[in-house]
Amino acid sequence: MRPALLSLLLLAGCATQPPCPPGLSPATLASAYFGRTAGGEEIVTDAAWTRFMDDAVTPAFPDGLTVLDGAGQWRGRAGTISRQHSKVLVVALPGGDAAEAQRRLAPVIATYRERFRQESVMVTTQAVCLGF
């Protein structure tokens, strides 16, 4: 087998999820990180977060989700480091992929950015095996 073809086959194998053990099924786990600060002040109160969950998140993910409290930092476009409290939304999408996660998260993120004047929301996805 030619080395270039072998390399392509090996790379293609890395892009797919290995089979899940019995009792578990392929899924995508998506996490979105929502900062609660804008302009140096915390503008996303607990009450505002609850309204956002009711208005935007729950309708997008009615089958379930998890929200964690976080504390992080990031460097914005202006080059300033911002330290802030955050909320981490974690959703599992049975049989879903990263594209589906992004498609379903996009309107939630757009609503958050507009409502709370946020520059960005970080998103991560990973292929997992899921069971209930």
Segment 112-131, tens digit of pLDDT? 999 998 988 999 999 999 99
| pLDDT tens track for 74-92 | 787 788 887 889 999 999 9
Rounded to two decimals, the pTM is 0.81
Which of the four pLDDT bands, split at 50, 70 and 90, describes residue 5? Answer: very low
Residue 39 has pLDDT above 90, yes or no: no
Q: Between 14 and 132, name the one with better pLDDT.
A: 132
Residue 7 has pLDDT above 50, yes or no: no
Cα separation values, 49 from 77, 82, 89, 122, Å: 25, 20, 12, 17
Cα separation of 132 and 11, whole Å? 31
